[in-house]
């Protein structure tokens, strides 16, 4: 069977930190680029603050596989405190890219040599631009900047469709700042 | 129009396109975004319907029963405990021969408390007189709702339809969905007209006492109608294709069945995962196929027989169990071959209970086991050692980690 394009993203967050929004916006932006994406959450206790995952599986053909993502190409760590309690790097693909919401570099024991981790002060960016430490949009912007899997413009359009007014404006700014953060760095 | 939508939002949109007059739901767990989205559409004037907020699922079902009996198209959705709480009303709706469409976002049944996906809720209703569809994708779920109303209200049918949609996997998952135009839905689904309805101007009584002289005939009538429904579903699915130019619904669907020696039988979203696994097995020249059951009630025995008769080994995979017996679907698939000349080896596997994730490996292990000895009721991915493959909630999850740290 001919090889096709398939990438998998795993998001680690706590319920209430916008992981589902992150996953679905990413999926929607990819859809706008003509790809197929299946974005879905997996809850623990399904209560605010409880650890949870969201996943995005993207391909150039319809996604049929419904299982969780065990061997992610990309990791988005929305809440870095989860790194202590969980093996967030479990199954992480060779050559994988992790984007971690943190102002400082954290030493990552679970990371292999050919895997890369980028640290983005996403909460700080959001706090500055929105007055709330919701780092998911900056992480999403940074994901576009670092991986190029999705265009920043497609993300912007998806954000505009999802939110309106001031909230949309704030989220756009945050995503842009996240996008630019590592490029300028 | 194609859009990127959450399953629940997509279903809410398509239910709105079916123009229900009354929507009733109980708004807390185990509920989905479906009634939430519909409530918002009603509040914003986007959908002209009465949204009746009630104090329980029992009342939600009763409300829909009443609406349908007065000739108003009604809708409700629930799952798990909510569906079980509706149970006696749901038997009544079928017994009264009232059209209705209910979405069941399939979830496990307590105790222990579990909000995740399996089919124990809907399977418990299999004997109720409801027609049951199981959707593989969000698109199929959307399409089955339109077909469901059409079928339910067909004068030859007059039975309620339950559209089963995997909880979380489909209800909370996002994918590309083609939401049809209102005009096309209107063309396919005429306004609801009930010949005998509750109407103060023409009083009549529904559901009166039927003693031993009459009751049995009412059951016989439903049973006969169910036989007819097996003919009507393909007809409606065919008409759906003519109007919407999309194949959707029907009784069963086959995947690589033609030359398959081993066939996996399953329902719902897991069929997607099975198709992926089959592609891999086919690469290795293994002749494996899938039989997807879309219509579980009425049970399409003849179609299943035709689809499976050339298979040598059959695995029935199901997310439900009749405790103390077997998987309900397994029992029925076995009965298909009673008295037939073919005698395939049929094994039953219970999988994915309470949201246990089903991976391609799970499917491969079922396929491997098919070559071994026949089993009636084997649990797949069972883990009696306390190690879990889940990303966050298992062995590396909260409790055990904190214990280790201490």
- Strands A51-59 and A116-120, sheet pairing: unpaired
Report the percent of chain A where pLDDT is more than 90: 86
CA distances from B11 to A31, B57, B62, B102, B139 (A): 19, 19, 22, 11, 9
pLDDT at A162: 96
Q: How far apart are the first and last CA of chain A?
A: 42
**Torsion sign (Cα): B324, B327, B330, B335:** positive
CA nearest B355 in A: which residue? A42
* Residue A107 DSSP code: -
Walk me through the domains of chain A, giving residue ranges and CATH numbers: 6-184 (3.40.920.10)
Which pLDDT band holds residue A1 (cuts at 50, 70, 90)? very low
| Contacts of A148 by beta carbon, 8 Å cutoff, 6+ apart | none
Q: What residues of chain A lie within 8 A of the CB of B396, using their CB?
A: 86-87, 90
Q: What sign has the CA pseudo-torsion B293, B295, B296, B300?
A: negative
Whether A64 and chain B come into contact, CB under 8 Å, resolves to: yes
Q: What is the pLDDT of residues A86-121, one digit of tens each?
A: 899 999 999 999 999 999 999 888 899 999 999 999
Q: Taking CB atoms and an 8 Å limit, are B392 and A24 in contact across chains?
A: no
- Joined tokens for residue B22: 């009354």
Is residue A83 very low, low, confident or very high in pLDDT (cuts 50, 70, 90)?
very high
| Residue A40 reports pLDDT greater than 60 | yes
CATH number of B252-379: 3.40.50.920
Q: How many contiguous H segments (helices) and E segments (strands) does chain B have?
A: 13, 15
Q: pLDDT band at residue A3, thresholds of 50, 70 and 90?
A: low
Residue extent(s) of CATH 3.40.50.920 domains in chain B: 252-379
| Both tokens assigned to B385 | 């050692």
DSSP-assigned letter for residue B111: S
Tokens of A19: 């992981």
Out of B6, B362, B389, closest to residue A24 by CB: B6
**Distances in whole angstroms, Cα of residue B400 to Cα of each of B386, B393, B404:** 10, 10, 6
User: Do B295 and B196 meet the contact criterion of CB atoms below 8 Å apart?
Assistant: no
State how far the alpha carbon of B75 is from the alpha carbons of A100, B20, B97, B100, B145, in Å: 44, 6, 16, 6, 10
> What does the pLDDT profile of chain B (406 residues) look like in tens digits?
999 999 999 999 999 999 999 999 998 888 899 999 999 999 999 999 999 999 999 999 999 999 999 999 999 999 999 999 999 999 999 999 999 999 999 999 999 999 999 999 999 999 999 999 999 999 999 999 999 999 999 999 999 999 999 999 999 999 999 999 999 999 999 999 999 999 999 999 999 899 999 999 999 999 999 999 999 999 999 999 999 999 999 999 999 999 999 999 999 999 999 999 999 999 999 999 999 999 999 999 999 999 999 999 999 999 999 999 999 999 999 999 999 999 999 999 999 999 999 999 999 999 988 888 999 999 999 988 876 666 555 433 333 333 333 3
CA-based nearest distance B176→chain A, Å: 7
Please tell me if residue A34 touches chain B, with a CB cutoff of 8 Å. Answer: no
Which residues of chain B are at the A interface, by a Cβ-Cβ cutoff of 8 Å? Answer: 4, 6, 115, 166, 168-169, 172-176, 269-270, 272-273, 275-276, 279, 282-283, 357-360, 362, 389-393, 396-398, 401-402
A161 touches chain B (CB under 8 A): no
| Domain(s) of CATH 3.40.50.970: residues in chain B | 2-244
> What pLDDT is recorded for position B391?
59
Is the ipTM of this structure higher than 0.90?
A: yes
CA separation for the pair A179, B9 (Å, rounded): 30
Region A46-72: mean pLDDT is: 94
In chain A, the residue whose alpha carbon lies closest to the alpha carbon of B174 is A39
Confidence of residue A4 (pLDDT cuts 50, 70, 90): confident
CA distance to partner chain B, nearest, from residue A29 (Å): 9
User: What pLDDT, on a 0 to 100 scale, did the predictor assign at position A183?
Assistant: 75
Contacts of B324 (CB under 8 A, 6+ apart): none
What is B2-244's CATH superfamily?
Thiamin diphosphate (ThDP)-binding fold, Pyr/PP domains (3.40.50.970)
Is residue A114 classed as helix, strand or coil in its secondary structure? coil
Amino acid B10: pLDDT: 98
pLDDT tens readout for residues A124-150: 999 999 999 999 999 999 999 999 999
- What pLDDT score was predicted for residue A107? 87
Q: Which residue has the higher pLDDT, A3 or B297?
A: B297
């Amino acid at each position: 069977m001919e090889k096709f394009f398939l990438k998998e993203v795993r998001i680690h967050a706590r319920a209430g930190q916008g992981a589902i929004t992150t996953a679905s916006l990413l999926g929607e932006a990819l859809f706008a680029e003509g790809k197929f994406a299946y974005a879905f959450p997996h809850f623990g206790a399904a209560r605010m603050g409880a650890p949870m995952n969201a996943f995005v599986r993207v391909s150039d053909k319809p996604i049929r596989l419904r299982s969780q993502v065990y061997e992610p190409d990309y990791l988005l760590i929305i809440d870095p405190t989860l790194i202590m309690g969980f093996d967030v790097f479990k199954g992480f693909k060779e050559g994988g890219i992790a984007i971690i919401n943190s102002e400082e570099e954290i030493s990552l024991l679970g990371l292999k040599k050919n895997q890369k981790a980028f640290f983005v002060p996403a909460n700080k960016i959001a706090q500055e631009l929105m007055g709330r430490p919701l780092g998911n949009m900056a992480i999403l912007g940074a994901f576009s900047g670092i991986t190029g899997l999705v265009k920043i413009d497609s993300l912007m359009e998806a954000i505009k469709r999802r939110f309106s007014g001031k909230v949309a404006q704030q989220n756009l700014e945050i995503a842009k700042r996240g996008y630019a953060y590592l490029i300028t760095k | 129009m194609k859009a990127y939508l959450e399953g629940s939002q997509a279903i809410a949109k398509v239910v709105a396109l079916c123009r229900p007059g009354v929507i009733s739901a109980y708004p807390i767990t185990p509920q989905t975004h479906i009634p939430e989205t519909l409530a918002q559409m009603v509040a914003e004037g986007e959908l002209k319907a009465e949204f009746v907020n009630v104090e329980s699922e029992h009342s939600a079902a009763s409300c829909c029963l009443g609406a349908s009996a007065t000739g108003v198209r009604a809708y409700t959705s629930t799952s798990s405990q909510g569906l079980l709480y509706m149970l006696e009303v749901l038997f009544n709706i079928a017994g009264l021969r009232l059209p209705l469409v209910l979405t069941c976002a399939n979830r496990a049944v307590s105790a222990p408390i579990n909000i995740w996906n399996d089919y124990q809720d809907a399977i418990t209703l299999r004997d109720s007189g409801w027609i049951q569809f199981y959707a593989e994708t969000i698109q199929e779920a959307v399409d089955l709702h339109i077909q469901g109303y059409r079928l339910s209200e067909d004068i030859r049918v007059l039975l309620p339809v339950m559209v089963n949609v995997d909880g979380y996997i489909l209800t909370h998952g996002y994918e590309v969905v083609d939401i049809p135009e209102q005009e096309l839905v209107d063309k396919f689904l005429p306004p609801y007209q009930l010949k005998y309805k509750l109407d103060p101007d023409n009083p009549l009584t529904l559901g009166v006492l039927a003693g031993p002289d009459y009751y049995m005939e009412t059951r016989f009538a439903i049973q006969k109608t169910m036989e007819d429904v097996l003919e009507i579903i393909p007809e409606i699915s065919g008409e759906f294709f003519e109007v919407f130019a999309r194949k959707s619904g029907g009784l069963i669907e086959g995947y690589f069945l033609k030359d398959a020696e081993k066939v996996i039988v399953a329902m719902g979203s897991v069929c997607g995962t099975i198709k992926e696994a089959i592609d891999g097995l086919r690469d290795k020249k293994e002749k494996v196929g899938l039989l997807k059951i879309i219509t579980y009630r009425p049970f399409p025995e003849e179609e299943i027989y035709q689809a499976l008769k050339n298979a040598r080994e059959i695995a029935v995979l199901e997310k439900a169990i009749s405790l103390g017996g077997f998987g309900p679907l397994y029992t029925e698939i076995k009965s298909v071959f009673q008295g037939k000349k073919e005698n395939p080896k049929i094994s039953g596997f219970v999988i994915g209970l309470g949201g246990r994730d089903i991976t391609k490996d799970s499917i491969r292990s079922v396929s491997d086991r098919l070559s071994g000895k026949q089993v009636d009721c084997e649990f797949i991915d069972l883990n009696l050692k306390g190690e879990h493959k889940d990303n966050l909630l298992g062995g590396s999850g909260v409790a055990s980690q904190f214990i280790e740290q201490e």
